[in-house]
Structure 1
Amino acid sequence: MSTQTKAGSPALTGRQRLILTLLLGAQFMFALDFSIVTVALPAMGSELGIANSDLQWIITLFALSAAGLVLLMGRIGDYYGRKKMFLIGMVLLTISSAIGGLANTESVLFAARIGQGIATAITMPAALSLLTTSFEEGPLRNKALGLNGALLSLGFAVGAVLGGVLTDLLGWRFTFLINVPVGIIILLLAPLVISDTSERTKQKLDVPGAVTLTLGLLALVLGVTAVEQQGWSSPTTLGLLVASAVLGVLFWNIEARSSHPLAAVTILKRPSVFLGNLGGLVTFSMESGKVFLLTIYLQKVLDSTAFATGLAFGVLGAGAFTGGLVAARILNRIGAKSTLVLGLTLQGLSTLSFLFLGMDMAIGFTHILVATAVGGFGHVLCIVSYTVAVTSGLPDSEQGLATGLAAQTQQIAFTIGTPIVSAIALLVSTNNYVNPAAIEAVLGGVHFGLIVNSLVILATALTILVAYPRKSAEIPLVQTKPSRSI
């Protein structure tokens, strides 16, 4: 139970603080894992003899494993216990990270990344559902989810910088090994402080739905990945994307008829669940795409080093962390829908401002520092509000499904965002310039990609503003003064 502050608002107990620290620590690890290896890819390839064309699989295998299994693992947590799934996932993450850090062949490294992806699929929905069920709906939960969103974004931002520092100072293996001591600490403390209120229903798992969903997501991720290598019009790309759409329709039909669905259609039809996940998909995918395009701009147009590029995104992390600290207060004041629309609008407008990026080093860096801070602030408002939207108003028995959907949205978004916007930028550079590698061509492609990026975000904000039904637009919250303690 929470206590009351002098102002009358609920405050966290000591045990709740420890639970929050452990669960957020795990979430931060997974956010870090997604981005920390990116900077180290060339060093991995050089030492293990991995061809440049195959380096992408270090990222893609992780994304495939995580996105394809996360909804199923969230549902298993509902049925068989979230605490148990959380601990299993942390064990697998710790072991996989140790294997990756000690890998001496390409195949062992790939297997380690698959293990980390599966661990992410197991642990993320379990951790998030434990978070939502450990704190009652309202200000306390919003505060916890605000910190969760802050650390997720901070993890992605810090990952790139930390990956470069570790690779330069200690070697690429420490981008894996850093997880091992943290994982051990969490495994030692979590069983003592985290309780699981979920009831073990022992229901049958929806195997046809699970297989169809996994194959559909596999086709989607591979199809989007193929865009970068073969283009939108290649038979491979089109075939995979069509297969993904067909399997998605088949999955919906299976869920509508199943007596024990993996994802109940009635939940998927809830406006808060559907539109909340739409907002989450757009904010995550367009943010990752934006960071990629700005990285190209900094290194190809301004000729910045990898380390300087990482530092340029440091303010993004600061803006994101600040957003997480105040997100709960904004949510309590204006509600989930309005916060989501506000966050998307800030992210979209700050991205649109990059249309004015030029070839001046000082102006370019200053612009990026300011605009990414604003965009990062808005991005975290989106993360927190979409998580609140998709988990509020549901019984504890459905929290694994809801958080599994939220985690799946996140993993899919990270996978498709960069290939889509990079393909758009490359198309403009190739078709509109004599030399696609010239600075002017790269800048033109970056500009167009960022315009499309911002328009997608702003169109989504407008859609949510208009389509979110008034009755379910605002999540009922206890209107209290925000607590100063955490």
Structure 2
Amino acid sequence: MTDTRPPAVLAAPRRWWLLAALAVAQLMIALDTTVITIALPSAQADLGFADSARQWVVTGYALAFGSLLLLSGRLADRWGRKRVLVTGLVGFAVTSAVGGAASTAAVLVGARIGQGLFAALLAPAALALVSTTFTDPAERGRAFGVFGSVSMIGTTVGLLLGGTLTQTLSWRWTMYINVVIAIPAVVAAVLLAPDSERRTGQSLDLLGAATATLGLFSLVFGTSRAETAGWTAPVTVGALLTAGVLLVVFVVAQTRVEVPLLPLGILTDRGRGSALIALLLSSAGLFTTFLFLPFYLQSTLGYGQVHTGLAFLPVPAALVLSAAVVGPALSRALGARPVVPIGLTAACAGEFLLSRISVRGDYVPDLLPGLVLIGAGVGLVIATATASATARLDDDLAGTAAASVNAAQQIGGSLGVAVLAAVAASAAARVTDPAEGAVHGYGTAFGWAAALFATGAVLTALLTPSKEPA
């Protein structure tokens, strides 16, 4: 029987079992960011699609996911987070099964877009349930540390899982695996997630929904196209200009409606704004690392698919320990304010070490220290910034705040990858030897990622209030 009591008074075992179920749901979303990438060559050979269709298998997911987040967050507040969560889980499983059974590239791309759509429903609802369930400060930091680390772990483990499934079974299992994950998550959500009040009497900000969705779509699309078409290509410039206009209209509209899609107070609050900046910049730096390091490991050092995934494991190991244990301990000892700048500084140091890679690099001395520092640093950011970005809000805004967190991470990752891919390509072109040029490009991208982390450290140190309001 479903428990309808307020989340804050759920018995302790139920709270932590619910967190486990929500973490599994988040893991499924994160896996699909990278699990398909290593399987793409096998899928392309099997289905026989052109290189031009290959990018849409990846960007179709990102476009749907990133552009629908703000609307989905408000829908979770309006229709009930449990209902939206279960709908997202079931829809994600169904579209994953369709993708696994795809016989053409069009079906596979359509399934990936469907996954992104249901991921956009699922992600804000899951994070909002964590926020409204864990209100005790003693538990809140640890809960967000566990939940937030799962996202980055899933992204890393997706590289290993994608290679393993493709090598041992088939590329199709990179899609089918979501059905296996979703079934227990749906059962747990139905049994454990508390029902929240439906607020269907409130009007939905249709202008805000349209301008936010289309604006974010244009932003993600434009930055995705920049990597292949170039920043000055008409399609790139047109998409980015459209995004700018639509997002300006969105901001103006939010000041003139009774129930805005995204109350601007969520963004202008110093503590919350600082946390969102940290999440945006850390995602940009981390996703850049996940993009270029596999190429360096496989093309330059000669690693296989599974070996490449194993090489990334220090990142999630350090991230979990940092997010679930070190972050909460530092917050208790020093207060929350210095934790995020410390984490960003550690990640900056890790990226700086990676920027010094060479064609004849060795894993333990040249890569391992940097990977550990990046994982530990991002773990501190995830645990503390996510908790800060969703704190001190009425229950009817929990989904909206959760959507802003997911949007910051998704857009930060998309922008970071697009911009630094162009930087890496430009740096590589200046070197005559192709192998040396590729490594120089990777190192340059890692150096810029270090600059992003350093910028985040300075901004959060300056912007985070010395004391969080009650």
Mapping of residues 83-102 of structure 1, within 5 Å:
83-102=82-101
In the other structure, the counterpart of 1:351 is 351
Provide, for residues 349-368 of structure 1, a one-character-per-residue CA deviation record: whole Å limited to 9, x for no partner: 11011232223343x45421
- The whole-number CA distance in structure 2 between the counterparts of 1:161 and 1:12 is 36
The answer to whether structure 1 residue 320 and structure 2 residue 319 are counterparts is yes
- The whole-number CA distance in structure 2 between the counterparts of 1:372 and 1:121 is 29
Q: Given that residues 312 and 368 in structure 1 are in contact (C-alpha distance below 8 angstroms), is that contact kept between their aligned partners in structure 2?
A: no
Distance 1:138 1:201, change over 3 A: farther
Q: Given that residues 139 and 332 in structure 1 are in contact (C-alpha distance below 8 angstroms), is that contact kept between their aligned partners in structure 2?
A: no
Amino acid at match of 1:337: R
Q: Note the C-alpha offset of 1:78.
A: 0.8
In the other structure, the counterpart of 1:449 is 445
- The whole-number CA distance in structure 2 between the counterparts of 1:103 and 1:231 is 31
Partner-residue secondary structure (3-state), 2:103: coil
Q: Note the C-alpha offset of 1:89.
A: 0.6
Mapping of residues 11-90 of structure 1, within 5 Å:
13-90=12-89
In the other structure, the counterpart of 2:242 is 243
Q: Given that residues 150 and 322 in structure 1 are in contact (C-alpha distance below 8 angstroms), is that contact kept between their aligned partners in structure 2?
A: no
Provide, for residues 25-72 of structure 1, a one-character-per-residue CA deviation record: whole Å limited to 9, x for no partner: 111111111111111011111111121221111111111111111111
Mapping of residues 202-281 of structure 1, within 5 Å:
202-281=201-280
In the other structure, the counterpart of 1:286 is 285
Q: Given that residues 67 and 220 in structure 2 are in contact (C-alpha distance below 8 angstroms), is that contact kept between their aligned partners in structure 1?
A: no
In the other structure, the counterpart of 1:333 is 333
Amino acid at match of 1:453: A
- The whole-number CA distance in structure 2 between the counterparts of 1:11 and 1:261 is 31
Q: Given that residues 142 and 383 in structure 2 are in contact (C-alpha distance below 8 angstroms), is that contact kept between their aligned partners in structure 1?
A: no
- The whole-number CA distance in structure 2 between the counterparts of 1:283 and 1:312 is 21
- The whole-number CA distance in structure 1 between the counterparts of 2:421 and 2:336 is 31
Mapping of residues 74-473 of structure 1, within 5 Å:
74-198=73-197, 200=199, 202-326=201-325, 327-362=327-362, 364-430=363-429, 432-435=430-433, 438-472=434-468
Amino acid at match of 1:213: A
Q: Given that residues 35 and 159 in structure 2 are in contact (C-alpha distance below 8 angstroms), is that contact kept between their aligned partners in structure 1?
A: yes
Q: Note the C-alpha offset of 1:112.
A: 1.1
Partner-residue secondary structure (3-state), 1:349: helix
Partner-residue secondary structure (3-state), 1:356: coil
Amino acid at match of 1:469: P
TM-score (structure 1 length as normaliser): 0.91
Number of paired residues?
462
Distance 1:355 1:11, change over 3 A: farther
Provide, for residues 79-102 of structure 1, a one-character-per-residue CA deviation record: whole Å limited to 9, x for no partner: 110011001111101111111111
Unaligned runs of 5+ residues in structure 2 are 4-8
Q: Given that residues 337 and 468 in structure 1 are in contact (C-alpha distance below 8 angstroms), is that contact kept between their aligned partners in structure 2?
A: yes
Unaligned runs of 5+ residues in structure 1 are 2-9, 477-486
- The whole-number CA distance in structure 1 between the counterparts of 2:128 and 2:335 is 21
Partner-residue secondary structure (3-state), 1:124: helix
- The whole-number CA distance in structure 1 between the counterparts of 2:207 and 2:200 is 20
Q: Given that residues 296 and 439 in structure 2 are in contact (C-alpha distance below 8 angstroms), is that contact kept between their aligned partners in structure 1?
A: yes
Distance 1:361 1:265, change over 3 A: closer
- The whole-number CA distance in structure 2 between the counterparts of 1:418 and 1:433 is 22
Q: Given that residues 98 and 111 in structure 2 are in contact (C-alpha distance below 8 angstroms), is that contact kept between their aligned partners in structure 1?
A: yes
Provide, for residues 141-190 of structure 1, a one-character-per-residue CA deviation record: whole Å limited to 9, x for no partner: 11111111222221111110011000011101111111112212222232
- The whole-number CA distance in structure 2 between the counterparts of 1:392 and 1:471 is 13
- The whole-number CA distance in structure 2 between the counterparts of 1:232 and 1:31 is 28
Q: Note the C-alpha offset of 1:415.
A: 2.2
Q: Given that residues 68 and 214 in structure 1 are in contact (C-alpha distance below 8 angstroms), is that contact kept between their aligned partners in structure 2?
A: yes
Q: Note the C-alpha offset of 1:207.
A: 0.9
Amino acid at match of 2:431: Y
- The whole-number CA distance in structure 1 between the counterparts of 2:75 and 2:335 is 31
Distance 1:245 1:336, change over 3 A: farther
Amino acid at match of 2:353: S
Amino acid at match of 1:330: L
- The whole-number CA distance in structure 2 between the counterparts of 1:172 and 1:400 is 34
Provide, for residues 322-364 of structure 1, a one-character-per-residue CA deviation record: whole Å limited to 9, x for no partner: 12221222233333332111111111111011232223343x4
Amino acid at match of 1:74: G
Q: Given that residues 224 and 419 in structure 1 are in contact (C-alpha distance below 8 angstroms), is that contact kept between their aligned partners in structure 2?
A: yes
Partner-residue secondary structure (3-state), 1:232: coil
In the other structure, the counterpart of 1:482 is none
Amino acid at match of 2:441: G
Q: Given that residues 79 and 199 in structure 1 are in contact (C-alpha distance below 8 angstroms), is that contact kept between their aligned partners in structure 2?
A: yes
Partner-residue secondary structure (3-state), 1:257: coil
- The whole-number CA distance in structure 1 between the counterparts of 2:407 and 2:152 is 16
TM-score (structure 2 length as normaliser): 0.94
Identity of aligned residues (%): 32
- The whole-number CA distance in structure 1 between the counterparts of 2:192 and 2:229 is 50
Q: Given that residues 199 and 397 in structure 1 are in contact (C-alpha distance below 8 angstroms), is that contact kept between their aligned partners in structure 2?
A: no
Q: Given that residues 345 and 461 in structure 1 are in contact (C-alpha distance below 8 angstroms), is that contact kept between their aligned partners in structure 2?
A: yes
Q: Note the C-alpha offset of 1:11.
A: 12
Q: Note the C-alpha offset of 1:471.
A: 4.1
Partner-residue secondary structure (3-state), 1:214: helix
Deviates further, 374-383 or 265-274: 265-274
Distance 1:336 1:197, change over 3 A: farther
Distance 1:11 1:347, change over 3 A: farther
Amino acid at match of 1:317: P
Q: Given that residues 80 and 202 in structure 1 are in contact (C-alpha distance below 8 angstroms), is that contact kept between their aligned partners in structure 2?
A: no
